[in-house]
Each structure stands twice: as C-alpha cells, then as structure tokens.
Chain A
Amino acid sequence: MASLNEYLLVSGLLFAIGLAGVVLRRNIIIIFMCLELMLSAANLTLIAFSRFHTVNGLPDYNGQMMVFFVIAVAAAEVAVGLAIIVALYRARQSVQTDQLTALKG
C-alpha cells in the first residue's frame, strides 16, 4: 500500500510543476491552468491527511469538507478569471504576459 509520504511527495511535485508553469509560461490562460494544478495539489494533501488521520475508525471528514469548499471556490474563481481574461483580450488583443505591461512602473 502507498504510504502518506508518497502521497505528499506526489502532491508536492504537482505543486512544483504548477509553480514552474506560472513562472515559465507567457500565455495567461496556461498560467491560469497552472494555478488550478497548484490548488489541486493542495487538495491532494488535504485528502491524504484526511485518510491517514482516522477519527473513530473513519477518515477525518473535516479535511474533505475543506476540499469541497476549495473546489467550489475554484469554480467561481475560474469563471471570474476567464471573464477578466476575455475583457483583457478585448482591450489589448493579446494574452501574452510580456505584452501586457500597462502596470509596469
């Protein structure tokens, strides 16, 4: 059977991949997808701890509640974020972050 540390390692690596995507990619939609990867990596950690911390012989469902709320908030976040990206594209005709430098000091 897989152990807790193996799950945490997979979760941490997925978070690192998401972080790499946010830093390396220039397309704002890909950056947004990588943010979703990082959220899901955190979810995997929560579920792993929920399973390995049993309460009265059952998994700790408080962790799963957290994941449920994270997924619901992520759905709302994606809807708003994509609307902002579409508005941005309408104003600038680009989704490349190196061309969106209006806030640069």
Chain B
Amino acid sequence: MNQLLPSLVFWIFAGLTLLGGIAVVALRNPVSSAMAVVTCFIGLAGLFITLSAFFVGIIQILVYTGAIMVLFLFIIMLLDLKVEKGNARSLAGIAAGLSLVAAFVIQLIGVLGANPDMEMSDAPLNKQRMVESAQLLTKESDDNPHPVGADSAIVKSLKEGSLPDVHLVGHKLFTEYNFPLQMLGVLLLVATVGVVSLSKKKSA
C-alpha cells in the first residue's frame, strides 16, 4: 500500500495531464480547448507536487490556470470565436502532422529505453540527509557561497525532517538569482508597455 499509493497518484495526474492535452487538440470549440488546457495544467501541478516541488506546483495553478488561461478566455470571448465548422483541412496535412509526432515519440521511446532508469529511492529525501544538509547549508564554501543563518526557518525545518521548499526557493531566488530576478521585472515592464502600444488604435 505504501508503495502503491504514490504510484497511483502519479498515474492519475499523468492521465489527467495527457487526456487534457489530447482534448486541447481534438475539441472543436475554442472555449472547450481552453478548459482542457486548464485540466492539463492542474494535472501537471499535481505531478510537480509529487516531485516535492510544492512552490512550482502552486505557481503553476496560480499563474497558468489562474491568470494565463483567464486571459485566453477573455480573448476568445472578445473575438467571439464560434465552433469551427466543417473539416476543411487536407488529408496530407493531417498525415504530415501525425507522422512528425510519431517520429518524435519513437525517438523518445528509443532514448528512454537506452538510458538507465532511476527510482525515487535512489534520490531519497529523508530526515537523516536533511539534518546533514542543514549543517552544510550554514557553512560558507565554494559550493555554497550564500550560507543560511543557523537559526533560520530553513535550518529549523530541515532539522524537523520536513522539506522547506518555499524557503529554499526564496533563498536561492534572492541570493544567487537576484540579478535575473530583477531582469525579469524589466521584462514584465517591457511586455506591459508593448501590450499597451500594440492594442492602442493607430491615430495616424
């Protein structure tokens, strides 16, 4: 049971993700496609959480399903898109598309079959290793140029044997990745200005 349950959770979320993905391509109504993307992203967030990436899982739901897909639905509503009528696409186009995908999947299976697999138990997250890593994280070294404080929430949580995912992400983001983070702010500003100027009616 202890072994079966995580595997079952994985297959449920993987199935949700893949079925959602297929529905995006197969459904004719753009609104149904958008809802299928939401389903797919919820499944994907579940997979992230099974990989102990709790922060990214939550962000996936908040940003993708909460913000991006709502934006898509707004645009579908504004453009008043109807269900696509008729099947005007050529057989050659479908055949080309499917053979491209088939080639990709065959390659994928070949690569996965040729490489050694890894189980979760090969990379365990247990209390003993977390206590060791808490010690390593507080010491400054070449591998660890930004040590955490000995009484910080990260160390406290690691010593209790629970993964302080959000704290670790935050620590890394604001030390090692501080400059890219600020560049991201600039990028979002540029995108905002760009969107405003794109959607403005031309007055000339």
Residues of A that sit less than 8 Å from B by CB: 1-10, 12-21, 23-27, 29-30, 32-34, 36-37, 40, 43-44, 47-48, 50-54, 56-59, 61-62, 64-65, 67-69, 71-80, 82-87, 89, 95, 98
Contact = CB atoms under 8 A, between A and B. Distances in A.
Interface in B17-49: 17-18, 21-22, 24-25, 30, 33-34, 37, 40-41, 44, 47-48
Interface of B: 3, 6-7, 10-11, 14, 17-18, 21-22, 24-25, 30, 33-34, 37, 40-41, 44, 47-48, 50-53, 55-56, 59-60, 63-64, 67-68, 71-72, 75-76, 78-79, 81, 84, 88-89, 93-94, 96-98, 100-101, 104-105, 108-109, 112, 115, 117-126, 129-130, 132-133, 136-137, 163, 168-169, 172-173, 176-177, 180, 184, 187-188, 190-192, 194-195, 198-199
Contacts of A68: 56, 59, 169, 173
Nearest to A53: B123
Contacts of B97: 20, 23-24
Contacts of A13: 18, 21, 105, 108
B47 A10 contact: yes
Nearest to A87: B198
B30 A30 contact: yes
A4 B101 contact: no
Nearest to B41: A40
11 contacts: A2-B6, A10-B17, A14-B21, A33-B72, A36-B37, A47-B56, A64-B56, A79-B71, A80-B191, A82-B71, A83-B194
A20 B97 CA distance: 6
B84 A44 contact: no
* Chain A binding surface, main DSSP class: helix
Nearest to B21: A17
* Chain B binding surface, main DSSP class: helix
The 3 closest A-B pairs by CB, nearest first: A57-B129, A23-B97, A76-B191
A64 B40 CA distance: 20
A61 B198 contact: no
A20 B101 contact: yes
B120 A8 contact: no
B120 A24 contact: no
A51 B199 contact: no
Nearest to B4: A1
Contacts of A33: 24, 33-34, 37, 72
A33 B64 CA distance: 11
A71 B191 contact: no
Contacts of A50: 51, 53
